[in-house]
Structure 1
Amino acid sequence: MTLSYNNIIVAVDGSEEAKWAFQKSVAIANRNNATLNLVNVIDTRSFAAVEAYDRSIAERAQGFAEELLGNYKKEAQEAGVENVNILIEYGSPKTIITKEISKKYDVDLIICGATGLNAVERFLIGSVSENIVRHSKCDVLVVRTQEQAAE
């Protein structure tokens, strides 16, 4: 049994909880000398109907993701993480993270914030973090608090 992680995914979406997950992922990547994969999945289902009227939505989502991940990459490198990758994908975060990205990058830890949809959506379709926990083949850390991981 291995006691260290080599390839870590942290899912970020711009939320406060995702920021906390990112901060903890940096500390874990540093302790394990791991590769940190910063992931933002642009959920195309959320703007498909609106995009029929406004084609720039996908471009704005891509721009937001690039800026968000670029800033996080710079912060991770300044904190000492040597290997940082940026991954922007389109589709459903629930399936892309667990079924595609984690396999493609041989991930052994997924870190995500406990951000939630509203109560009705969570009841009907479940949260992204819940789905990651259920379907992941590797360890998952769901971050609920702001406290930084101990160095």
Structure 2
Amino acid sequence: MALTYKKILAAVDGSKEAEWSFKKAIDIAKRNQAQLILAHVIDNRSFPTVEVYDTTISEQAESYVNTFMDKYKQEAEDAGVPFVTLAVDYGSPKVKIPREMAADFGVDLIICGATGLNMVERFFIGSVSEHITRYAPCDVLVVRTQFGE
């Protein structure tokens, strides 16, 4: 049994929980000299409805995501993470992260926040972190913010 991780996928969405999980991912990647894959899934399932009113919504979403993903990558590199990769995809985060991205990158650890930006979906059909822990083919670390944050 290996006691180190070689490929770590950190799921980030711009939320406070994701920020905490990102910080932990940096620490773990540095300790293990591991590749850090920063992953974000643009949930485009509601785009067809919104694009009736605003045809640039997908372009705006992609621009926003690229901006904060570049910031995360730079921060990880500045902190001394040896290998940082960005992964952006479209679809359902709860499906893409544990079932597709984890396999595509061959990760041995997924790190995610306990909650993220999509509060409505979590209320009706469960959280992304719950689905990741249930369906991931590897270890999963779910990170919470400090109490009161």
TM-score bracket relative to the smaller structure: over 0.9
Amino acid at match of 2:66: E
Change (3 A) 1:22 1:146: farther
* Identity percentage of aligned residues: 55
Distance 2:99 2:122 in 1: 21
Q: What is the DSSP-based 3-state SS (H/G/I as helix, E as strand, rest coil) of the residue aligned with 1:111?
A: strand
Distance 2:65 2:95 in 1: 18
Q: Contact between 2:122 and 2:128, CA under 8 Å: does it hold in 1? A: no
Distance 2:19 2:72 in 1: 9
Shift of 1:53: 1.9
Partner of 2:36: 36
Shift of 1:146: 4.3
Partner of 1:98: 98
Structure 2 unmatched runs, 5+:
none
Partner of 2:115: 115
Q: Structure 1 stretches (4+) deviating beyond 2 angstroms?
A: 120-124
Distance 2:96 2:56 in 1: 23
1:81-140 deviations in Å (ceiling 9; x for gaps): 01000111000001110111100100000000011544x643431110000011111000
Counting matched residue pairs gives: 146
Partner of 2:14: 14
Distance 1:77 1:146 in 2: 25
Partner of 2:71: 71
Q: What is the DSSP-based 3-state SS (H/G/I as helix, E as strand, rest coil) of the residue aligned with 2:82?
A: coil
TM-score normalized with structure 2 length: 0.92
Q: What is the DSSP-based 3-state SS (H/G/I as helix, E as strand, rest coil) of the residue aligned with 1:10?
A: strand
Partner of 1:54: 54
Structure 1 unmatched runs, 5+:
none
Amino acid at match of 1:81: V
Shift of 1:55: 1.4
1:30-59 deviations in Å (ceiling 9; x for gaps): 000000000110001143311222111111
Distance 1:100 1:121 in 2: 20
Q: What is the DSSP-based 3-state SS (H/G/I as helix, E as strand, rest coil) of the residue aligned with 1:44?
A: coil
